[in-house]
Amino acid sequence: MPETGFIAVFLVGLLGGTHCVGMCGGIVSALTVQLPGSRTRQWPLHLAYNLGRIGSYTVAGALMGGIGSLGLLLNKVLPIQMGLYVAANIMLVAMGLYLLGITRSLAFAERFGQKLWIRIQPVTRRFLPARSVFQAFPLGVLWGWLPCGLVYSVLTAALMSGSAARGALTMLAFGFGTLPNLLLAGLLLKRLRETAQGRLVRFASGALVLGFGLFGLYNAPTLGGNLWNGVVCTV
């Protein structure tokens, strides 16, 4: 049975899907612009693109988990772990507020990621338009590094996971959570984007993600209780 923490991270990706559709809708539409009227020909491209994107999330999670494990090897482990845990949940609260349209407090994190993205973005042009899975997959790998507040929120959780393996699994679970929204966005782009940008959908998604963050902060003294079991390092 999957540990509850990975289920929670999966749900964060699933509930934050409205943000994903808005962020990646343009590149998703570019995958099918050369293949009008044929969903049979389109879905392998979208699947390959999304698997590449999730692969990049997994690599990033492994890197963050590895970095975090070095900090947790220091003498005063609990204060470090508590600080990372609180930071992860503050990021979720900020993401929930962003989805609710209350604040853009995660913009600073996305600006930080722009430094890496400006080096990667020119390479994506080599694979556009993507007419085969051999173009779509590396395109997804590259676009997995697009600055995104939601991704950075979960990367903070990967940082406190205690190991590279846990960090990778954290981001893998999150990536699969985002998969349904973006896979459907590729096949039903216009209709899904209109639905995802609807006020009710964004409010519900924002409220639920915000709830995850607030619940985590409330349970900070116990490092999340059962909610983050499997993600939070309990060394």
- Into how many domains does the chain fold? 1
Which backbone phi and psi does 232 adopt, to 5 degrees? -75, 130
Residue 56's pLDDT band (cuts 50, 70, 90): very high
For every residue of 69-138, DSSP letters joined together read: HHHHTSS-HHHHHHHHHHHHHHHHHHHHHHHTTS--TTHHHHHHHHHHHHHHHHHHGGG-S--SHHHHHH
- Round to whole Å and give the CA distance between 234 and 78: 9
Q: Answer yes or no: is 228 within a domain.
A: no
Q: Is 235 inside any structural domain? A: no
Domain of residue 106: give its range: 4-222
Q: Domain for residue 89, yes or no?
A: yes
Going by C-beta distance under 8 Å and a sequence separation of 6 or more, which residues neighbour residue 147?
109, 110, 111, 112, 113, 114, 116, 117
CA nearest 50: which of 176, 187, 188?
176
What is the pLDDT averaged over residues 76-100?
74
Q: How far apart are CA 114 and CA 152, in angstroms?
A: 12
Instruction: List CB contacts of 125: < 8 A, sequence separation 6 or more.
Output: none
Task: Tell me the pLDDT of the chain averaged across its residues.
Answer: 76
Categorize the per-residue pLDDT at 150 as very low, low, confident or very high, splitting at 50, 70 and 90. Answer: confident
> Is 227 among the domain residues?
no
pLDDT surpassing 80 at residue 67: yes
Residue 1 pLDDT level (bands cut at 50, 70, 90)? very low
**Residue 234: inside a domain, yes or no?**
no
Does 18 map to a domain? Answer: yes
> What's the pLDDT tens digit per position in 26-46?
666 666 555 555 555 677 888
- Of the listed ranges 10-19, 39-48, 105-114, 128-137, the least confidently predicted one is 105-114
Q: Is 232 inside any structural domain?
A: no
Rounded to two decimals, the pTM is 0.81
Asked, for residue 114, whether it belongs to a domain, the answer is yes
